[in-house]
Chains A and B, each alone.
Chain A
């Protein structure tokens, strides 16, 4: 009986201590948060979650259609991996099988009329050519992405390298 009483007292003391610590930390957090607010006057950038409160379930936006017109897009810079101009949903791309290569492998480019993957995909990092696609290039979607038929979320201010060169030439004149 005595033992349990002592235990209870210890428990109470611990709960109190924890409450104090928690309160202190929350006050500290609140103060830093408010301090940030004062400093940062930039417009609020919403996260993927948007303005949905944490305890509510967000309504997911409608999924946009995937561009599926098979038309090549212009590349913004020479090294840009070309975008995928078709739907690739449900394509298997794992350690067993690469659905992209079902058409884009050199051997199947004729029957599928798909562009064969370029020779750089057969190079290892030492610049040596391998007999088959280099393991570091195997997972196509690491670099190549499909496009959605939607408006861009943020404005793109990218300027083409050629344009910059041309401008500098003009300036020199």
Chain B
């Protein structure tokens, strides 16, 4: 204990004294360069966790949600544009992104303790997991959808009659947001008992 206190004291005396041999210019410039490297490294590492490879490196994602995504229009389509996991599940705005990444530490916990490490466990948690995402998208007015699908760029005349009718009324007035109608657009829906009565068997 005494030794530790002594070491801490020594460290503090070194830190609190002004530099004797290094110039202020050297310290400023090297500090700036180190800052750039740390900041860049931090963001690069975070971007790595936003890739399709990273998300599907765990079997929980690869065998369940990623398999289902592959049959949908967001994975393969006539124009060849693909939305990857992070496009919908990670906010693009930096502060929101950091908040989401901090939330994701719970997912690391889940991975370590195998919360959804079998198909059965995943199915048991599916509704709750889906509801987390629906709540988020409902709260931010389907921001992640709108990053690509902009209301102002929608040509109702190119949509089917039903789609145009819904988009020009409920969506245009802000009464509804994308996720209200487009649940299950990229993954299979669980039993919707209690969410949308009448669409699932008891």
Q: Check A97–B184 contact: CB distance below 8 A.
A: yes
A107 CB contact (under 8 Å) in B71, B73, B190, B198: B198
Residues of chain B with a CB closer than 8 A to A123's CB: none
Q: Looking across the interface, which residue of chain B has its beta carbon closest to that of A97?
A: B189
Q: Check A97–B198 contact: CB distance below 8 A.
A: no
Residues of chain B with a CB closer than 8 A to A105's CB: 198-199
Asked, given contacts A90-B71, A97-B192, whether A108 binds B198 with beta carbons under 8 Å apart, the answer is yes
Instruction: Tell me how far the C-beta of A63 lies from the nearest C-beta in chain B, rounded to whole angstroms.
Output: 12
A95 CB contact (under 8 Å) in B161, B184, B201: B201
Q: Looking across the interface, which residue of chain A has its beta carbon closest to that of B162?
A: A70
| Distance between Cα atoms of A96 and B189 in the complex (Å) | 7
Asked, given contacts A98-B200, A106-B198, A132-B202, whether A70 binds B160 with beta carbons under 8 Å apart, the answer is yes
A68 CB-CB contact with B under 8 Å: yes
B120 CB-CB contact with A under 8 Å: no
Q: Looking across the interface, which residue of chain A has its beta carbon closest to that of B185?
A: A90
Q: Check A96–B198 contact: CB distance below 8 A.
A: no
Instruction: Tell me how far the C-beta of A8 lies from the nearest C-beta in chain B, rounded to whole angstroms.
Output: 50
Complex interface bits, B181-196 against A, C-beta within 8 A gives 1, otherwise 0 = 0001000111110001
Choose among B190, B192, B197, B201 the residue with the greatest number of A CB atoms under 10 Å from its CB. B201
| Distance between Cα atoms of A106 and B198 in the complex (Å) | 8
Residues of chain A with a CB closer than 8 A to B72's CB: 90
Choose among B72, B161, B162 the residue with the greatest number of A CB atoms under 10 Å from its CB. B162
- Give chain A interface residues in 76-90, CB to chain B under 8 Å: 86-87, 90
Q: Looking across the interface, which residue of chain B has its beta carbon closest to that of A131?
A: B202
Q: Check A101–B189 contact: CB distance below 8 A.
A: no
| Distance between Cα atoms of A94 and B73 in the complex (Å) | 19
- The tally of residues in A whose CB lies under 8 Å from a CB in B reads 25
Asked, given contacts A90-B71, A90-B72, whether A96 binds B200 with beta carbons under 8 Å apart, the answer is yes
| Distance between Cα atoms of A56 and B198 in the complex (Å) | 48
Q: Check B198–A132 contact: CB distance below 8 A.
A: yes
Asked, given contacts A70-B162, A97-B190, A97-B191, whether A138 binds B201 with beta carbons under 8 Å apart, the answer is yes
Q: Check A98–B160 contact: CB distance below 8 A.
A: no
Q: Looking across the interface, which residue of chain A has its beta carbon closest to that of B72?
A: A90
Q: Check B188–A94 contact: CB distance below 8 A.
A: yes
Residues of chain B with a CB closer than 8 A to A92's CB: 184, 188-189
Asked, given contacts A87-B160, A92-B188, A97-B189, whether A102 binds B201 with beta carbons under 8 Å apart, the answer is no
Q: Check B162–A97 contact: CB distance below 8 A.
A: no
Q: Check A98–B162 contact: CB distance below 8 A.
A: no
Q: Check A97–B161 contact: CB distance below 8 A.
A: no
Instruction: Tell me how far the C-beta of B162 lies from the nearest C-beta in chain A, rounded to whole angstroms.
Output: 6
Q: Check A101–B190 contact: CB distance below 8 A.
A: no
Complex interface bits, A104-141 against B, C-beta within 8 A gives 1, otherwise 0 = 01111000110000000000000000001101001000
A sample of 22 cross-chain residue pairs with beta-carbon separation below 8 angstroms, ordered by A number, consists of A69-B161, A70-B160, A70-B161, A70-B162, A86-B162, A90-B71, A92-B184, A92-B188, A95-B201, A96-B189, A96-B192, A97-B188, A97-B200, A98-B201, A102-B196, A105-B198, A105-B199, A106-B198, A107-B198, A108-B198, A132-B202, A135-B201
Given contacts A68-B160, A70-B161, 16 further A-B contacts (CB under 8 A): A86-B162, A90-B71, A90-B72, A92-B188, A95-B201, A96-B188, A96-B192, A97-B184, A97-B189, A97-B190, A98-B201, A102-B199, A105-B199, A113-B165, A133-B201, A135-B201
